[in-house]
A and B are shown apart, each in its own frame.
Chain A
Amino acid sequence: MEILDHISKHLRLGDDEMVLSLTKRAIARNIHPKTILDDGLISGMNVVGELFRKHEIFLPDVLMSAKAMYAGMDQLKPLFLKGGIPGRGKVVIGTVKGDLHDLGKSLVGIMLKGVGFEVIDLGKDVAPEKFIETAVREDAKVIGMSALLTTTMPMMKTVIDLLRQKNLRGKIKTIIGGAPITKAYADEIGADAYGFDAARSVECVNALLSD
């Protein structure tokens, strides 16, 4: 449908006003909200992710597109709730205890919401128990942890060990990221995935939830 292509195109351009207007128009034409989300907004966001990976656009471009995505999503959310349309799943994210650097984590949250996940952002300086309690209470299938300091990285292992102790490993998957984090470190502590950057974190969460 042409209008969905327009939504996708203006989302790529980061034009939030046009995306808002076109989404309203698509709703008025009785296009199913899930179709608008999948073939308009998410389709556009997928292209943005691809261009970002190829270094054809950069972080600020992605974030302008994310704002446009949210403008459209805000119109669709009430319809999803009203129609009982299931979301793509919940993800709990946060910066680990002892660390206040949360920009990277917030970007991952923005991107995850952008592709339709429900994100519970616990903020920064988050205690290990809080990650797990929240994931259990909210029935989230993935916990995402971020750290910028080498001194706070071990908190990620604490969370994973706690999941193991509570027999929740496998039921709740973990993804970790942040400046000092490497794939080798993620493997060493038993994380299920390593988010190199925001775009790849989204791919990893997709993969974890389709396992």
Chain B
Amino acid sequence: MTGLVPIALDGIMPSFKAILRGQGVPPNAVISGRIRTLIGKSLDIFSSEARPCCVTRDVSMGDFDEIFRGEGYNEEQAPLKAIYRRADHLVLFALTMGHEISRSIGAFFGKNDFALGSMLDTVASVAVENSVAYLENFAAKEFTGKRTTAAGGVVLNYSPGYCGWHIGAQKNVFRYLRPEQIGITLNDSCLMTPLKSATGVLVRGDKAIHIFENGFSFCRTCKDQTCLDRMDRLSSADHPTL
């Protein structure tokens, strides 16, 4: 699965619910008409300015050993360390919403239009999450028919900078994948431009390899705990399997 992956805007447009959650609005809260208008406007801007694109590259276990190691700053115990070694396929990916969206967000803040800038920022962030989910599904379909794993296998993504995988590994991801071809660059602190981008590895393997106890040292300071949701979804019947 090496090459450019087309991402259609229709497939990644954020829902109202996800946008409101991203803005910190509690579920079932009554929101004003002006917030609805703001969301509508942000979605329109996103539709006209986002240029989602994605590049992927198959990677061997041996090469990923080196990519994962990065600059040697990973936590001694990190979930991915145990997960990828039990995988039957690894694919590096990088995707972005493009430069125009980031420029627009900055421009709205520059004009003191904070609400619109913030809403557009949230829309773009949710779209990045949706794109990664889209890519997981795309990869799952790509692998269908080629699978070497037992039934029940899934594709999940993991990214440098999270869950004990040090952000320094971005350098190796970039060296191997060359996301510059879709306009993503890396600075000295291993951070990407445009900001609304994501990189990582898609790990294909049996569901069981993705399940872990979230009792690592860094879990104590993690407020998101999104791993729990991911693992819950893995157990649910509607999660796509290979």
Contacts and interface: CB of A to CB of B under 8 A. Distances in A.
Nearest to B187: A125
B113 A67 contact: yes
A100 B115 contact: no
Contacts of B32: 61
B189 A125 contact: yes
B35 A98 contact: no
Given A99-B191, A100-B191, A182-B223, A60 B167 contact: no
Interface stretch (A80-88, A135-143, A148-156, A168-176): A148-156
Nearest to B195: A100
Contacts of B189: 97-100, 125
Given A14-B34, A60-B119, A149 B113 contact: no
Contact of B162 (A60, A70, A149): A149
Contacts, number: 86
Nearest to A198: B24
A182 B220 CA distance: 10
Given A98-B189, A98-B191, A185 B221 contact: yes
A151 B192 CA distance: 15
B113 A60 contact: no
Contact of B223 (A60, A98, A103, A179): A179
Interface string B102-124: 00000001001111001101000
Chain B interface bracket (under 10, 10 to 19, 20 to 34, 35 or more): 20 to 34
B24 to A, nearest CB: 5
B161 to A, nearest CB: 5
Contacts of B24: 58-59, 197
Interface string A159-188: 000000000000000000001111001000
A150 B118 CA distance: 23
Chain A interface bracket (under 10, 10 to 19, 20 to 34, 35 or more): 20 to 34
Interface string A30-64: 00000000000000000000000001001111011
A70 B161 contact: no
A58 B218 contact: no
B218 to A, nearest CB: 5
B64 to A, nearest CB: 20
Most buried by A among B161, B162, B224: B161
Contacts of A107: 114, 118
A59 B224 contact: no
A184 B189 CA distance: 27
A184 to B, nearest CB: 8
B31 to A, nearest CB: 7
A180 B189 CA distance: 19
Contacts of A179: 223-224
A66 interface: yes
A185 B32 CA distance: 36
A75 interface: no
B114 A180 contact: no
Contacts of B113: 67
Interface string A83-110: 0000000000000011111010011001
